[in-house]
Structure 1
Amino acid sequence: MKKLKRDQYWTVAILSATLVILTYFFYEIGRFGDWQLITALAMMIGSLVLRVVLEISSRISLKNLQLHLPTSDFLNSIKRYHKSRKKIQSIWTPVIYIIYGIGIILMLVAVRPFLSTGFYTYCVITGIGFWIGFIWVIRLSYRKERELLKGLEELSG
């Protein structure tokens, strides 16, 4: 339980830091940007806000799990928590990936006329690299989380 809580804390912290950076960028650039850039940043920020809200909600659910319940009640609460996490992982996460990816593409299209070829290539590589890294890190954390939850279910059962 401690590991799940700690991992969720770090997930929220990292996503929130990314969200702050994008929001600052949106504030600074959005005033001068065109509709594509504003839409792109809004999509990226919106998808991260959704993700942070889902993680905070999940963290609250995890915090409300009571370890001192009878074994069968505790097992049922773990199963409900696991089911809600699977729903987040299978429904919401792909939607978030797609929205964020479309935002990155729109942003790259919007900034293309203002960048040199070399710097634009750098932005494409780092932008898409970050997106792929974002997907990889979240999938890795989900895999670890599923293993922990299955272990808790086995211990409880």
Structure 2
Amino acid sequence: MKNDDLSQIWKSQNSDLTLDKPDNIIKKARKQRNGQFATIAVLSITIIILMAFAIKYASSDWNNFTLGLLLMISSLGFRVIIEFVSIYRKESQLIALDNRTYQEYLKKYYGIRLKANYIITPICFGVYILGFTMLLPYFKSGFTEGFYNYILISGIVSLAVIALIVIKSVLREHLFLKQLNRR
């Protein structure tokens, strides 16, 4: 549905909007959706890289290296699925509901999303870190000390940056939910 059509539908409703003007709601929704698509893209690219790495280097024997890669890939894949489901559910409700009902839906949606971010995201992050640490002994024996240190340091820095991005995103969604609940 085009933004103009949605704006016209919501503008034709009662003028006592509790959240914001329709154009601002659409702008916030678009920004949040684009952020989710960016997250999905980054996670998907990482999955592809890890799968290519697994195909090239994982042996047919089941060991910690294979398990580590599987943990990393599955945690990212699970997170991608959650993001897709989240986008689909919210957009299907956006088209189906009027403004006031949609605002109530957003309150529930972001409440559930925050619970998922406080429970599922740390679990996925922990599983990913576990998988990464399971690969480290293989990296240490398979690469030079300098390259191993590069992998170790860049891995830790990358995980820290990702953690900060996730925390910022969760705090932003928490703030938006507070704004919804105040109105």
Normalising by the residue count of structure 1, what TM-score does the alignment of the two structures yield?
Answer: 0.88
TM-score of the superposed pair, with normalisation by structure 2: 0.76
State the partner residue of 2:141.
113
Q: 2:114 aligns with which of 86, 93, 103?
A: 86
Alignment coverage as a number of residue pairs:
154
Look up the equivalent residue of 1:107 and give its one-letter code.
L
Code of the aligned partner of 2:120? W
Q: Which residue of 1 aligns with 2:22?
A: none
Superposed, which structure 2 residues align to 1:4-153 within 5 Å?
4-31=32-59, 35-66=63-94, 69-71=98-100, 73-153=101-181
Name stretches of at least 5 consecutive residues in structure 1 with no aligned partner.
none
Q: Report how far residue 48 of structure 1 moved.
A: 0.2
1:32 deviates by 6.6
Greater RCO (CA < 8 Å, at least 6 residues apart): 1
Is the CA contact (8 Å cut-off) linking 1:104 and 1:128 kept in structure 2?
A: no
- Aligned-residue sequence identity (percent) comes to 27
| Structure 2: gaps of 5 or more residues | 1-28
> Shift in Å at residue 150 of structure 1?
3.7
CA distance in 2, matches of 1:81, 1:58: 9
Q: Deviations over 1:8-31 (max 9, x none)?
A: 111111111111111111111113
Task: Please state whether the residue corresponding to 1:106 is helix, strand or coil.
Answer: helix
Please tell me whether the aligned partners of residues 43 and 99 of structure 1 are also in contact (alpha carbons under 8 angstroms). Answer: yes
Indicate the RMSD between aligned Cα atoms, in angstroms: 1.9
